[in-house]
Amino acid sequence: MKKLFEIIGSWIGECIDFFYPPFRKYLSIQFFRYGVSGVANMIFDWVLYFVIYHFVLRQQMLYLGFVTFGSHIAALFLTFPVTLVSGFLLQKYVTFSTSELKGRVQLLRYSLVVLANLLLNYLGLKILVELIGFFPTPSKMIVTIFTTMFSYFSQKKFTFKLQNPPSEV
């Protein structure tokens, strides 16, 4: 399975790299790959959130017997495991493929950063939707912009850090 992910990751990386030349002067290839694969995963997250919020939960509260979640928060928790896996695979096999850390260490660290992002998402949605009264899907988009910046620096310096990083141009 790992070999399949490596092949797919390499192919996705090559597709992304095709569009890199106009950005070469401004962005490193790693940052460009992070941006493109991150945006793809973010759009996937937004679409999945929208579908779950509107069509699965039908904008209704989610009653679990011992706790009740508003549909905007329940949709967040239901999309989380899916985008955790898709995001990790993209970052491991497309963006930070040269990291020498073991996969389980990367996954643990990635999960910690994503959990921090989940907390930031939760707090952001609580503030924007419940306190300010803003619409859930645009609120999710706004919060995502902030968590993306936090995530890139955390992933680069913590999750997939290189032992001997090459100097950046």
State the burial class of residue 69 (Cβ atoms within 10 Å of its Cβ: 0-12, 13-18, 19+): middle
Nearest CA to 118 out of 86, 140, 92, 94 is that of 140
Nearest CA to 128 out of 118, 150, 114, 143 is that of 143
Reduce the DSSP state of residue 106 to 3 states and report it.
helix
* pLDDT in single tens digits along all 169 residues of the chain: 888 999 999 999 999 999 999 999 999 898 899 999 989 998 999 999 999 999 999 999 888 888 888 998 899 889 989 998 999 999 999 999 888 889 899 999 999 998 898 899 889 999 999 999 999 989 988 998 888 788 888 998 899 987 665 555 4
First CA to last CA across the chain, in angstroms? 34
Q: What is the largest CA-CA distance in the chain?
A: 56
Residue ranges of alpha helices (H) inside the chain are 2-18, 29-51, 71-90, 103-125, 136-154
pTM of the entire predicted model: 0.77
